[in-house]
Structure formats: structure tokens, C-alpha cells
Amino acid sequence: MRDLDPNGSPASFSCPSPVPNPEVIVLGHGSGGRLTAELVSKVFLPALSNPLLDRLNDSTELNVDASRIVFTTDSFVVNPLRFPGGDIGALAINGTVNDLAVAGGQPIGLSAAFILEEGFPIAELKAFAQSMRTAADRAGVAIIAADTKVVERGKADGLFITTSGIGVVAPGVELGAERIQVGDAVLVSGPVGDHGIAVMSAREGLEFQTAIVSDSAPLNGLVASMLETGGGLRCMRDPTRGGVATVINELAKSSGVEILIEETFVPARDGVRAACEILGLDPLYVACEGRLVAIVDSADADKLLAAMRRHPLGSDACCIGTVRRSGTPRVLLRTAFGTIRMLDLLSGSQLPRIC
């Protein structure tokens, strides 16, 4: 209408200011991608900033007298509560154990806080508690603190579990994105995307020719095997929300390097590839819950890969890329066709509520 105004002035008629679209939380804020990063940088860090939190690691290291501990927390809101290869209970244990493990910490205690919706079956709760116990036993750790809250029907979604964990870092273990150097190799401990596709198929009732099972597992044993080799390990991440592509982007950004990933080297099960093709997803962005990405000195890559492959959770470990140069932090992908393209953070969410 304004264009029709002969004076060319929007002030010539009265119009209420448009109501600005209020800024609200959208599902993508929980994706682990660009919107999550924005929420952290614009909302949480301005209020909560401190040197330890600002590092934005999955675990935070702090000292207790002469000892080094790592501390982490994660809420689990996975939907559905059960999926092939796991459930919210096992996931809540493995997720927190893995955040400690990739920081070099052996877990010494976990906490679990339950938010229950009125009407949730107690038999189900028992089953999930048992599943937590089984997962904790497998990781060699105990749940030593807990809490329970209940909200009215319709005010939650059955069950949310928040776990936190404390781990101890052995003397001499030095890991961190700032240690990454040009020439380093990028390793992944096994096929990617199993967890995300398993949850997605359970949620949507999809059936694929090969059943896809979550990789949910505790990585502290695998990490211990890697640390025992005695060197060359720069840093590690567990590629959960946002998958391998997201954690490698975070590492590139934290360390200011360019990383090249070879698409043909990235291990993924045929079933995951097929499901991703049908669903329009890229396996590199699909969550894992029992895999790790490690950046290592290329001189030690073979030794570390051998150690990983000797462990049941690392039997398919392989090298998928290299740190090419410092300067502009970015991640590039050499595709199967030999072309090179940017492998960026996704802005929204491929798969909501997968952990």
C-alpha cells in the first residue's frame, strides 16, 4: 500500500507499528547446531560467563587440591523413551560417562535427577532405573546422588532425566582443542549415525531392511586404551547432537584450523546410509552415542588406531581427515566425486529430541 502513496511517504497514513515477532525458543535451539550456539553466545554466556564455562567444553576441568577432576551435565529428553539398542536410562548414563571420557576423565560418581509426569507408570520407571544400573555397571561407575520431581499431567512428556558426572583425570593427561596442530589426523571410532537413525525409526515407525540399532555405549574403556598408548592424542569429542560434522566444526573453531574430511573415508552402515537417503539426511550430522572423534598427532595415528581397534567399541576405527592449515577456521569435505565443499554447522535441527 505504501508504494501507492503519491507523496512516497509512509507517514501520510496511520499504521500501527508491526508487532515484532517475539523472540522465542524453537526446536532448533536444542539441535546442537547454529541456533544452539547462538543461544549459548547470546543468552547464557553474557549472564553466566566465567573462564571455565567460556571454554564451552562438554566437560569442565577443575582442581581439587592437587587432583584434577572433570564435571559435566546433560538433560535427556529422548522421544521415544525406548528405541532399538537402548532407552533413556542407558542413554543418560552413557552420555554423561562419554562427556567425562572424552575429556580424559574416568568417572567416579554420577547423579541422576528425574522429572516425572503425573500418570507415568511406575513399572516403566523401575525398568528405566534398572537400565541405568546396567549401563552404570558397564561403565564401572555408580549413581551416588539423585532427586525426583513430579509435575502435573500435560506439563512434561513422561520422563526427563538429567545426569551429571565427576571424573578424575590422571596426571600427565593433557587434552584440548588448543593442542591441535597442522598435520594432525582426524580419527573416528566407528560407523556414524546409528543412534540418530535408530531413534528416528522408532519414533516415526519406520522400518528398514536392516534393523538399525543405537550405538549407545560407555567410551571410558576405549579412551583408557587410547591413553595407555602414551601420546599423540590432542583432543577428543563425542559426536552426539549435530553429529561428527558439528563437533569437527567446533574443534576447527576452537583451535583456528582448517580441517579436511574425506567423505569416502567416513564409515557408516549401509542401513544408515539408506535411511539417510530416504529421509534427506547427511550421516555426518546424525548423532552417535557411543563413538568418539579424536584429533591425533599423525605420527601416532597408526598406534592409536591399532589400540582403538583392539577394543570392542573401536573395532571399526579409521582416519577420516587431516588438519590442513591454521588461519581461517573451517571444515571442508572432499566428496566422493573429488570436489571440495564446506561442511558447516546446520542452522536448525535435523532430528529433534534424539538424546
Report 333-352 residues binding a second copy (CB under 8 A): 352
**Nearest-approach distance from CB 202 to a second copy, in angstroms:** 17
Nearer to a second copy, 129 or 173 (CB): 129
Q: Examine residue 130 and tell whether it contacts a second copy (CB under 8 A).
A: yes
Greatest Cα-to-Cα distance within the chain, rounded to the nearest angstrom: 79
How many CB atoms are closer than 10 A to CB 130? 11
Q: Examine residue 69 and tell whether it contacts a second copy (CB under 8 A).
A: yes
Taking the C-alpha atoms of residue 259 and residue 244, their distance in angstroms, rounded to an integer, is 12
- Compute the C-alpha angle 277/347/78, nearest 5°: 70
Query: Which of 12, 67, 326, 347 forms a contact with a second copy (CB under 8 A)?
Result: 67
Measured CA distances, 312 to 33, 250, 292, 352 (Å): 30, 27, 13, 29
Taking the C-alpha atoms of residue 353 and residue 355, their distance in angstroms, rounded to an integer, is 5
Considering only residues 99-128, where is the footprint of a second copy by CB under 8 A? Answer: 108-109, 111-123, 125-126
Nearer to a second copy, 95 or 321 (CB): 95
**Nearest-approach distance from CB 80 to a second copy, in angstroms:** 13
Nearer to a second copy, 40 or 274 (CB): 40
**Nearest-approach distance from CB 68 to a second copy, in angstroms:** 9
DSSP element (H, E) containing 306:
helix 301-310
Considering only residues 15-54, where is the footprint of a second copy by CB under 8 A? Answer: 22-30, 36, 39-40, 43-44, 46-48, 50, 52-53
Q: Examine residue 60 and tell whether it contacts a second copy (CB under 8 A).
A: yes
DSSP 197-246: HHHHHHHHT---SSPP-------HHHHHHHHHT-S-EEEEE---TTHHHH
**Nearest-approach distance from CB 162 to a second copy, in angstroms:** 4
Q: Examine residue 170 and tell whether it contacts a second copy (CB under 8 A).
A: no
**Nearest-approach distance from CB 105 to a second copy, in angstroms:** 11
